[in-house]
């Protein structure tokens, strides 16, 4: 497994500063949500090369998959994001699904999402980039978000039928939504391309709440996963201290 941190881990600091910190802590990459705020991408690509660390995942420009009215905008935003990913050597794009539409049957919205993702699949396959669907919890952080459960997420991915459309399994969100974290990440291992970790409640760094991350990360490792596990969390202490504690108390025991 490889560990990444997310932009914002060092509040007020830019992406280059985060990359320098990733190198300092011997981590593997940065997740940056809004690539379009980087400025000149060629300049940033040169900074990545200089530091020897880079962005490993970014987000799409449009976050609505359930409303067909957004389909063309979604696909066009994905085209732009793929072009940026090629320039910056980013291999993963994260997307949410948008809020559930009132008065529209859930199966109709799910089919709209599948159709849009099928439209996207050839673009992703040509670029050899993976689009990662992220379920979010609706109880605490994202009321009304359409896709929340891992079983439904896996069913959508199976319906799309592309190796370039996968799942980002956010342990924090899935703990709130459904629990059974180890059972579900094991059951849907073939569909998972990326993990996010944070503790619950509070979404602070692992080790501050109810989730026991040593067995969770061991279970992830036992599935054969060798991709990125992102610390997508807030920090209850100095970020440098929190990262070193995570490495010493959790990661070193996997």
pLDDT at 106: 97
pLDDT at 23: 98
Q: Is the C-alpha dihedral spanning 167, 173, 151, 133 positive or negative?
A: negative
Q: What is the rounded distance in angstroms from the CA atom of residue 165 to the CA atom of residue 132?
A: 6
Domain 2-253 has CATH 3.30.70.520: no
pLDDT at 145: 98
Per the CB < 8 A criterion, the answer to whether 166 and 191 are in contact is yes
3 state SS of 225: coil
3 state SS of 85: helix
pLDDT digits (tens, 9 = 90+) for 162-184: 999 999 999 999 999 999 999 99
Q: What is the rounded distance in angstroms from the CA atom of residue 203 to the CA atom of residue 184?
A: 20
Q: What is the rounded distance in angstroms from the CA atom of residue 83 to the CA atom of residue 88?
A: 9
Question: pTM (2 decimals)?
Answer: 0.97
**How long, in residues, is the chain?**
254
pLDDT at 41: 98
Q: What is the rounded distance in angstroms from the CA atom of residue 250 to the CA atom of residue 235?
A: 16
pLDDT band at 77 (very low <50, low <70, confident <90, very high): very high
Catalytic residue annotation: 134, 232
């Amino acid at each position: 497994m490889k560990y990444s941190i997310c932009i914002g881990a060092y509040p007020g600091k830019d992406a280059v500063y985060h990359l320098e910190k990733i190198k300092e802590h011997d981590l593997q990459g940065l997740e940056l949500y809004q690539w379009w705020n980087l400025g000149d991408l060629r300049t940033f690509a040169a900074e990545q090369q200089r530091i020897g660390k880079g962005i490993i995942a970014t987000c799409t420009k449009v976050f609505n998959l359930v409303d067909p009215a957004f389909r063309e905008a979604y696909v066009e935003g994905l085209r732009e994001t793929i072009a940026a990913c090629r320039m910056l050597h980013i291999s993963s794009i994260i997307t949410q699904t948008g809020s559930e539409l009132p008065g529209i049957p859930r199966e109709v919205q799910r089919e709209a999402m599948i159709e849009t993702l099928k439209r996207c699949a050839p673009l992703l396959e040509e670029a050899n980039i993976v689009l990662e669907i992220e379920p979010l919890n609706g109880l605490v952080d994202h009321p009304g978000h359409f896709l929340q459960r891992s079983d439904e997420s896996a069913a959508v991915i199976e319906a799309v039928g592309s190796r370039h459309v996968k799942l980002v399994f956010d342990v924090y969100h899935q703990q709130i939504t459904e629990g059974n974290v180890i059972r579900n990440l094991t059951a849907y291992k073939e569909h998972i391309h990326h993990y996010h970790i944070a503790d619950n409640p509070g979404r602070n760094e692992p080790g501050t709440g109810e989730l026991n991350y040593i067995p969770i990360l061991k279970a992830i490792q036992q599935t054969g996963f060798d991709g990125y596990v992102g610390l997508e969390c807030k920090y209850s202490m100095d970020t440098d201290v929190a990262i070193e504690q995570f490495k010493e108390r959790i990661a070193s025991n996997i």
